[in-house]
Amino acid sequence: MRMIFIGPPGAGKGTQATALVQRYGIPHISTGDMLRAAVAAKTELGVKVEAVMNSGQLVGDDLMVGLVKERIAAPDAAKGFLLDGFPRTVPQAKALTDAGVQLDVVLLLEVPDDLLASRVTGRRKDPETGTIYHLQFDPPSADIAHRLVQRDDDTEVKVRERLGAYHAQTAPIVPIYEEAGLLLRIDGVGSPSEVAGRIGAALDRHTNR
Ligand code: ADP
Ligand code: ADP
């Protein structure tokens, strides 16, 4: 199962990815997580991308395409993968097609802009387990609350910048996958379990058609 998850920042891609990768036994490949790990480790890549990520802009296509091609060539991705955060531009989508990657499905998680700022600014992550929480919508238990961390780019100002990048540079990839008959539009408004139910039902319909 080779699948792509598209959606604006804070739509719930990471949250929903956990159940999907379990269902299909595939790795969750989040380019945002890969870049953040490189920044934290101060690798050559991390040093190169840190300022761009902090500005809410997108990292260059050539760099991203190289990174993803290498990752999906790894043995654990041989039977499939869930790509989260890539492709994010038309050239990135074209590069994936040109590399001969055969996709099974593309999920588009749709959430209106006015709901996204609160999702993003309340987001916290447990660095020990990787679990994503939300201060209001999915609060952590008291015993772990102290160790949760917030992303540097999860501020009100930067989410506006990132949403601008999404609409200008990422939304144009949607018609490519729609025309290829791969796109499933999922309403991302509602509780995480409601959204998970919609994704499961849409995938069942898609794979049984
Ligand atoms: P993305 O990976 O698309 O940027 P996340 O999965 O990290 O988004 O979700 C962003 C924030 O919103 C997180 O704090 C998460 O706990 C919360 N969240 C995810 N899904 C929902 C939902 N359906 N309703 C309310 N909050 C949600
Ligand atoms: P979000 O939670 O907003 O969906 P991500 O964690 O996917 O964000 O990405 C965080 C940042 O990493 C982006 O704002 C961008 O700077 C960079 N990034 C991640 N994936 C890509 C990509 N495919 N192309 C360009 N930049 C990327």
- Going by the DSSP 8-state scheme, the letter that residue 190 receives in this structure is S
12 and 192 in contact (C-beta within 8 Å)? yes
Nearest to 5 by CA among 84, 87, 101: 84
Count the neighbouring beta carbons within 10 Å of the beta carbon of residue 134: 19
Partners of 4 in the beta sheet?
Answer: 83, 106
Is the beta carbon of 12 within 6 A of some atom in ligand 2? no
- The CATH number of whichever domain residue 82 belongs to comes to 3.40.50.300
Determine the pLDDT at residue 33.
95
- The whole domain housing 131 covers 2-208
* Mean pLDDT per 10-residue segment, the chain (209 residues): 98 96 96 96 96 94 97 96 98 97 97 96 95 96 96 94 97 98 98 97 90
Catalytic positions are 13, 88, 123, 151, 162
Distance 142 CA to ligand 2 centre (A): 30
24 and 80 in contact (C-beta within 8 Å)? yes
H-helix or E-strand spanning residue 124: strand 123-125
Which structure tokens are listed for 49? 């991308």
Determine the pLDDT at residue 114.
93
Distances (CA, A) of 29 to 18, 22, 143, 157, 206: 11, 13, 29, 27, 22
Determine the pLDDT at residue 133.
97
Determine the pLDDT at residue 183.
98
Sheet holding 81-84, edge to edge: 28-30, 81-84, 2-6, 105-110, 183-187
What pTM was estimated for this model as a whole? 0.96
Rg (CA), the chain: 17
Determine the pLDDT at residue 16.
97
Count structural domains, the chain.
1
Distance 99 CA to ligand 1 centre (A): 31
Determine the pLDDT at residue 18.
94
Which structure tokens are listed for 157? 């100002």
